[in-house]
Amino acid sequence: MSVTVTLPDGSNKVLAEGATVYDVAASIGSGLAKAALAGKIDGNAVDLNTLVKEGDQVEIITSKSPEALDILRHSTAHVMAEAMQMVFPGAQIAFGPQTETGFFYDFELDHSASTDDFEAIEAKIAEIVSKDEPFVREIVTRSQAEELFAAQHFKLEHVRELPADAEISVYRHGEFIDLCTGPHLPSAGKIGAFKLMKVAGAYWKGDASREMLQRVYGTAFFTKKDLDTYLFNIEEAEKRDHRKLGRELDIFMMDELAGAGLPLYLPHGARIIRLMQEWLRRELYRRGYEEVITPHIYRAEVWKTSGHYDFYHENMYFFHINEGTEDEPRLSEYAVKPMNCPGHVLLYRNDIHSYRDLPIRYFEFGTVYRHEMSGVVHGLLRARGFTQDDAHVFCRVDQVVDEVVAILDLADIVMKTFGFDYEAEISTRPAKSIGSDEMWEFAESALKEACARRDLAYEINEGDGAFYGPKIDIKVKDAIGRTWQCSTVQVDFNFPERFDLTYRTAENSTERPFMLHRALFGSIERFLGILIEHYAGALPVWLSPIEVRVIPIADRHIEGAQALRARLEAADIRVEVDTDNAPMRVKIAKAQSDKIPYMLVVGDKELADNTVSVRERHEGDLGTQNVDDFIEMMKQYVIR
C-alpha cells in the first residue's frame, strides 16, 4: 500500500510502504518533517501508512517552513527540562512552549535558579543533544498518564483537568517523559544551536494567587549562524533603546530621588514634545476640536461620582489637606487626576446644550498620574506621569458613526505623518460591565461600521472592552516589528450616566448624549519613545530639536558662523553653532552622533561668497549652496 502526499512545492509524492514522514523529508533533502492530517499525525516517526489513506493530502514541513523553528524550539524546551532535572533533582516541571523568539519552561525548584546556573544547564543540554536520541510519541490512557506523572504535581493537575474525551499524548526522550501534544523534532541532534537567555518569575497558569514558578527563557536555531544573527540583532535593538538614546541625545532623564516612572524632560525632549503638540493642535483646530485646560487635582467627591474612587483607588495619588484651623481641623481629601475625563464632563455640564450644538469636541494635552505597580514601569513606554492628547466628543446617537470615522481618519493621518504602520482591534463587552444590551450592541456595531466605512481591517478582541463601553485600539508597529497600543476610541456609557449629562432635542425633550473618549498619540511620551526607537534617534527634520548645526572650520570663522546662525534663526530654523576648539572632522563626528539633520560647514570660501557647505546626516556632503537657497529649502519643515 502506498499513499500520495503533497510536498511544500505543491508537487505530489508517492510514499512507499512503511514510509515515515522523516523518510519523505530525507528524500526531499530535509532532516525535519511534520505531517499533519486533520491533527491526527504529527512530526514523529509515525508510520504514515497506518494513518493515511490513499489520496489524503499530507503537509510536509521542512526545516525551511516557518513552523519548523517553533517545533525545534519546543523540542529544545523539552531537552532543557530534561537537563534541569539533572541539575536540579526533584524539579517540578510545568509548561514549556515556544515563543516568538525562542522558548521557555516553568519549574518549581528547591533552590532558585539564576543565570549563574546557565553554564551547567547548557552543558547538560549539549550533552543530550549530542546523543541525538529520538522523540517518541505515545498515546496513553488517563490512568496511565496519572501513573507516569505521579511525581509531577503540575502535570498531574493538568492531566486531571483535561476533558474526558481528550486524547492524551506523551513524548519520551531518553529517560525524560512529558505530557505534550507535540509535534517534535525527530531527534535532539537536529538542534543546531541554542542559548539560555534569562530567568524570570511566572505564576502557575498565569494566576497571581497560585505558585510562583521559575521561568527559564532560551532560544534555539537550526544553525549557529542563525543564532549569532539573532544575538547581533538584539544588540542592534539595544542600541536604539529609547532609554539609552534619550540619555545620549539629552531628551529625558530619570532621577531616583524623584521617584520611579517620573521622567524629567531636558530641553531637547521638551522641544520635541511641544513640536508634536503644535502639529496636532493645528490638525485638531481644523477638525472642529476646541482646546480646554482642566485642573490636575480634584476633590475626592469628583472621583466618587465618576466611580474611580472605588474602582481605581489603588492607582491614584490621594492626599489630605487641612482646610480648617489647627484647633478645628477640617480635612479635605483630594486626588491627582489619573485621567482627564471628569474635567471635560464638568465643562460640558456647565451649560444647557441644544441638539444643534452637538457634537462638542473638547481636547486637552492633559498630564495625568497613575500609580502603576512598581514592577511595570518602563522608561517612557510605561511611566507614572504622562501626558495624553486626550479628547472627549459629546454627540447624538445619529452622529456616533460619523464621529468615529472622523477619528479613524485623523488617526490614519497621525500614523502616516510619523511614519508608522498600524493595526486595529475592536474590543467587545467584558463579563463585568454596565449598560444595557441594546447600548452595547449599538456601540459595537457603530465601531464596526466606522471601520468598514474607512476600509480599516480589524481583529476582534472578544470581551476585552472597558467595563463602560467597547473600543477600537490602534497598535503601532515599530521598526523592529514590535507592536504598541497608541490610539484608542472608546464609547462610554458610564460618565454621561453618573454625571447626568443631557441635551435638549428638537422636540424639547431631554436626551442623554453619547460620549466618546479618544487619544491619538495615546500618551505623548510613549509615542515619543516609540518614535525614538523607530528612527534610532534620527527624528524627521520637522521634529528634530536642533535642525541645523553650523560648523566653523577654524576659530576665525566663529564670528561669521554666529552671523549665519542669526540669519537662520530669523527664518525660524532651530540652529546652533559648534564653537568648540576642535578640528572640523571632530565637530562633524559629534554632529553625526547627535543625529543633527543638517551640518553647515563654513570656512574662508563660504564666508567670502555667502554660501554654506551642506552636509546631511544620512546623505553626507551635499556640496555648496547659497544661504538663501538653504533657508528656502528649510521652509518645508515648518509646521503649518
In degrees to the nearest 10, what's the CA dihedral of 566, 568, 573, 579? -60
Q: Does 565 bind RNA (CB under 7 A)?
A: no
Residue 439 CA to residue 84 CA, distance in Å, equals: 53
Q: Which of 65, 146, 203, 250 binds RNA (CB under 7 A)?
A: 203
Please state the closest distance from residue 408 (CB atom) to RNA, in A.
20
Supply angle C-alpha 470, 475, 480, rounded to 5.
160
Residue 570 CA to residue 77 CA, distance in Å, equals: 63
> Which of 577, 580, 584 is CA-nearest to residue 562?
577
490 assigned to active site = no
- Amino acid of residue 336: V
Which C-beta is closer to RNA: that of 51 or that of 253? 253
Q: Which of 583, 628, 633, 635 binds RNA (CB under 7 A)?
A: 583
Which C-beta is closer to RNA: that of 172 or that of 247? 247
Residue 378 CA to residue 244 CA, distance in Å, equals: 12
Which listed range, 142-150, 174-182, 227-235, 612-620, lies at the site for RNA (CB under 7 A)? 612-620
Q: Which of 547, 615, 627, 637 binds RNA (CB under 7 A)?
A: 615
Asked whether 106 and 94 are in contact (CB, 8 A), the reply is yes
Strand order, beta sheet including 598-602: 575-577, 548-552, 598-602, 611-616, 620-626
517 assigned to active site = yes
Q: Does 39 bind RNA (CB under 7 A)?
A: no
Please state the closest distance from residue 559 (CB atom) to RNA, in A.
12
Residue 369 CA to residue 628 CA, distance in Å, equals: 47
Please state the closest distance from residue 593 (CB atom) to RNA, in A.
4
What secondary structure does DSSP assign to 74-94, as a single string? HHHHHHHHHHHHHHSTTPEE-
Show contacts with RNA in window 41-100 (CB under 7 A): none
- Which of 353, 392, 429, 534 is catalytic? The answer is 392
370 assigned to active site = yes
Q: Does 603 bind RNA (CB under 7 A)?
A: yes
Which C-beta is closer to RNA: that of 243 or that of 448? 243
Show contacts with RNA in window 275-334 (CB under 7 A): 306-308, 311-312, 315
Please state the closest distance from residue 208 (CB atom) to RNA, in A.
4
Which C-beta is closer to RNA: that of 29 or that of 623? 623
Q: Does 585 bind RNA (CB under 7 A)?
A: yes
Q: Which of 288, 295, 419, 620 binds RNA (CB under 7 A)?
A: 620
Which C-beta is closer to RNA: that of 286 or that of 432? 432
Residue 280's φ and ψ, nearest 5 degrees, are: -65, -40
Show contacts with RNA in window 152-191 (CB under 7 A): none
Residue 123 CA to residue 196 CA, distance in Å, equals: 11
- Which of 180, 341, 395, 486 is catalytic? The answer is 341
Residue 166 CA to residue 142 CA, distance in Å, equals: 9
- Amino acid of residue 545: P
184 assigned to active site = no
- Which of 74, 337, 517, 565 is catalytic? The answer is 517
> Which of 234, 233, 132, 137 is CA-nearest to residue 192?
132
Q: Does 475 bind RNA (CB under 7 A)?
A: no
Please state the closest distance from residue 178 (CB atom) to RNA, in A.
21
Which C-beta is closer to RNA: that of 360 or that of 383? 383
Q: For the chain, what's the residue count? A: 640
Q: In angstroms, how far is the first alpha carbon of the chain from the final one? A: 75
- Amino acid of residue 459: E
Q: Which of 140, 234, 584, 639 binds RNA (CB under 7 A)?
A: 584
Please state the closest distance from residue 13 (CB atom) to RNA, in A.
41
What secondary structure does DSSP assign to 174-189, as a single string? TTEEEE------SBGG
- Amino acid of residue 487: S
Q: Does 555 bind RNA (CB under 7 A)?
A: yes
160 assigned to active site = no
Residue 526 CA to residue 197 CA, distance in Å, equals: 27
Show contacts with RNA in window 240-269 (CB under 7 A): 243-244, 247, 254, 256, 259-261
Total number of residues that touch RNA (CB under 7 A): 74
Asked whether 111 and 220 are in contact (CB, 8 A), the reply is no
What is the per-residue binding string for RNA in 370-389, x denoting contact by CB under 7 A? x-xxxxxxxx--x-------
Which C-beta is closer to RNA: that of 37 or that of 197? 197
Which listed range, 6-14, 17-25, 38-46, 461-469, lies at the site for RNA (CB under 7 A)? 461-469
Residue 381 CA to residue 402 CA, distance in Å, equals: 31
Q: Does 233 bind RNA (CB under 7 A)?
A: no
471 assigned to active site = yes
Show contacts with RNA in window 107-146 (CB under 7 A): 112, 114-115
Query: Per residue in 225-253, is it b (16+ CB within 10 Å) or e — as a string?
Result: eebeebeeeeeebeebebbebbeebebbe
451 assigned to active site = no
Q: Which residues are catalytic?
A: 341, 370, 388, 390, 392, 471, 517
